Chain A
Amino acid sequence: MTSVRYEHATRTYDGTSSPAIDDLELDIGDGELLVLVGPSGSGKSTALRMLAGLEPLDDGAIYIGDQDVSNVRPRDRDIAMVFQNYALYPQLSVAQNMGFPLKQQGVPKEERTARVREVARLLDLEAYLDRKPKNLSGGQRQRVAMGRAIVRRPAVYLMDEPLSNLDAKLRVQTRTEVVELQARLGVTTVYVTHDQVEAMTMGHRVAVLKDGVLQQVDAPGTLYHEPVNLFVAGFIGSPAMNLVPLGSGRPLQLGGSTLELSPAGEAAVVASGANGNITVGFRPEALEVGEGPLRAQIRTVEDLGSEVFVHLFLQHSGENLALVAKTSPPFAGRPGDNVGLQITGTTHLFAGDQSRLASTTASFRSAVSA
């Protein structure tokens, strides 16, 4: 049983004024694959390194299982880490690299060899056991790094962007392999990535970080459908959610049409205060291109075969506002065409403090015809 718990964990680097990780509260269950995601510099690596014992805590505590490990040396934490650049020992062969943690633990040579072989078989590395890391491809190196982590059977795996040095295709393939491997081994895993697609596809739960502050931890679906704030709404999903600041006017107006909300949505807006700045968000798949009261112009059309992304311009309070819609092919529109838009899916409403007020149904109604 190995759970991991961050308790008010805080880390401020020397010479910086604001914490890289600020008061982090996070519970990771036994056997869970938790993904830490966030933009560059949001503190993902720092959070992971704190768990590894490579960064000291300035405040709070970290538990692995029931043990407070805040002052425990990295090697006594029973963890294994996969680094972004793999950190393979260049002068050691693949077999020696994978056997290194075992050797340090004083595992006898025969058992070491057997365990390395077993993991090499699992990762399809048997043919390369005698090679040096520099004579391996990127994908093979990545697997060796995984192997070195697996072979010692630790309580927790830590992975810091382990796929980011692979090309796109291999990345997708390896992603699946890592998920399968983790499920099979059932070892609690903290996985860091800046790629929200990787986060959504891999994580049992996903923790979103921004500027060292945890924004939301939830299952991928929840994160997608019920983002707690504007940042999460904009960060999760590709293409990103359309986010349009509508200001403090009531009723809510966009590009000359009125946004009509469900009673629940209306109530949430009212409750937020009379002059609160409201931002409205709707995902590309919630925006229908064709007949609709909202007039817009097509900028570009991206036809991916299975789906089509339509990038649009909308005149809103004298500015060109960019929107994205997702439809299924065939799509007949061309750049420059004037089209009508309508919302057909969930609309999210965000308050002036960026928190989500409500997710509701809504539709545009032409202001002129009203």
Chain B
Amino acid sequence: MRGRTHLAVGERRWVHGAFGLMAWIVGLVYFFPVFWMVLNSFKSEQDANTSPKLFFHPTLDRYKDVTKSATGLLSFGEAFTNSAVVVIVSTIIVLALAIPAAYALAIRPVHKWRDVLFFFISTKFLPVVAAILPVWILARNLGLLNTRNVLIILYTGLNLPLAVWMLRSFFREIPRELIEAAEIDGAGLKGQLTSIILPMAAPGIAATALLCVIFAWNEFFYAVQLNPVKGSTVPIWVTTNISTRGDFLAKLSAASVLACIPVVLAGWIAQKRMIRGLAMGAIK
């Protein structure tokens, strides 16, 4: 008996070790390209394009190159502002729509709520390419091409189903009695939302908002189709650093790093909340 338990414990430790090692390897494999990109962004074009070099003379010149605005071209500042506006406005709209929707689906389920929920997620089944032509024609007819507004509308639409699903599962975590108690205590919808539901679901709402921000910030396909010139976002700006003549790897790396920073920052700041929020949502 004793021997067996010892063996079992030893075995488990070995398995744990193996899994841990694998996790590290996978993590490093994922991280390596990012690491290489950051490294490249501090190199000269020459260094970046010659055989892989770990030791070099670091320079911030590439960052200066990419942030320098040239006339006629999309500047970093413009792109950044556009992205910020599009991302923040669309996320606020998403939350403003998704919170009442999630309330209606989780706390006071409307008739046929399952169908409604399925409908939301079914909008994600279609390939984006299949929709781009009608969307483009619509946008053109409405005079929305090359505006921030078209992206705000699209990103709201893109993130809404996800936000409704996530928020619904967070709202369901709130004990029913709490909402009933608030109801008896005289709280209307507004009172229930502001005093009970929103404070309790705050981590979940933060996680949802963060995901919306990240998806909107990173979105490229719609941005490049509908908004390639004025009002363009950071992902488009990154690609403008690809030039047809001369080397651009280091420059592109620097631009990419800049594009990543806000997302990484947001993720890092919200890390704790987000993991809690995501884990909470995953239970249901």
Contacts and interface: CB of A to CB of B under 8 A. Distances in A.
Interface of A: 52-54, 73-75, 77, 79-81, 83, 85, 87, 89-92, 100-101, 104-105, 148, 152
Nearest to A148: B185
A80 B184 contact: yes
Interface in B170-228: 175, 177-178, 180-188, 191, 195-196, 199-200
Nearest to A145: B181
Nearest to B196: A89
B198 to A, nearest CB: 10
A21 to B, nearest CB: 18
A314 to B, nearest CB: 47
A139 B177 CA distance: 19
B180 A54 contact: yes
Given A75-B187, A100-B195, A87 B181 contact: yes
A79 to B, nearest CB: 6
* Top 8 closest pairs, chain A to chain B, by CB: A104-B186, A87-B177, A101-B185, A87-B181, A75-B186, A91-B199, A74-B184, A83-B177
Given A92-B195, A100-B195, A87 B187 contact: no
Contacts of B199: 91
Contact of A87 (B180, B188, B191, B195): B180
A52 B185 CA distance: 11
**Most chain-B Cβ atoms within 10 A of its Cβ — which of A53, A79, A91, A105?**
A91
16 contacts: A74-B180, A74-B183, A74-B184, A75-B184, A75-B186, A83-B177, A87-B175, A87-B177, A87-B180, A89-B195, A90-B178, A91-B199, A92-B195, A104-B185, A104-B187, A105-B186
A83 B181 contact: yes
B178 A87 contact: yes
A100 B185 contact: yes
A15 to B, nearest CB: 13
B183 A89 contact: no
A92 B182 CA distance: 12
A44 to B, nearest CB: 15
A278 to B, nearest CB: 46
Given A85-B175, A90-B200, A91-B200, A75 B183 contact: yes
Contacts of A101: 185-186
B177 A85 contact: yes
A74 B183 CA distance: 6
B181 A81 contact: yes
| Secondary structure class of chain A's binding surface, majority of residues | loop
B177 A75 contact: no
A313 B50 CA distance: 97
Contacts of B186: 75, 101, 104-105, 152
Nearest to A54: B180
B185 A79 contact: no
A85 B178 CA distance: 10
Nearest to A49: B180
Contacts of B181: 81, 83, 87, 89
Contacts of B178: 87, 89-90
Most buried by B among A73, A75, A92: A75
A148 B178 CA distance: 13
Contacts of A90: 178, 200
B243 to A, nearest CB: 54
Nearest to A101: B185
Given A83-B177, A87-B178, A52 B195 contact: no
A270 to B, nearest CB: 54
Nearest to A73: B183
A54 B175 contact: no
B182 A89 contact: yes
Contact of B184 (A52, A91, A92): A52
A92 B181 CA distance: 14
Nearest to A75: B186
B185 A152 contact: yes
A126 to B, nearest CB: 22
A79 B196 contact: no
A77 B195 CA distance: 21
A79 B175 contact: no
Nearest to B198: A91
A92 B177 CA distance: 16
Contacts of B175: 85, 87
A75 B181 CA distance: 10
Contacts of B182: 89, 100
Most buried by A among B177, B186, B200: B186
A192 to B, nearest CB: 14
B194 to A, nearest CB: 11
A75 B185 contact: yes
B175 to A, nearest CB: 7
Contacts of B195: 89, 92, 100
B245 to A, nearest CB: 60
B176 to A, nearest CB: 9
Contacts of A75: 183-188
A103 to B, nearest CB: 8
Contacts of A92: 195
Contacts of B200: 90-91
A79 B180 CA distance: 12
Given A75-B184, A75-B186, A104-B187, 6 more contacts: A74-B184, A75-B188, A87-B177, A89-B181, A101-B186, A148-B185
Interface in B119-178: 175, 177-178
A300 B167 CA distance: 58
A133 to B, nearest CB: 11
A59 B185 CA distance: 26
Nearest to B183: A74
A166 B117 CA distance: 40
Most B-side CB within 10 Å, residue of A87, A91, A148, A152: A87
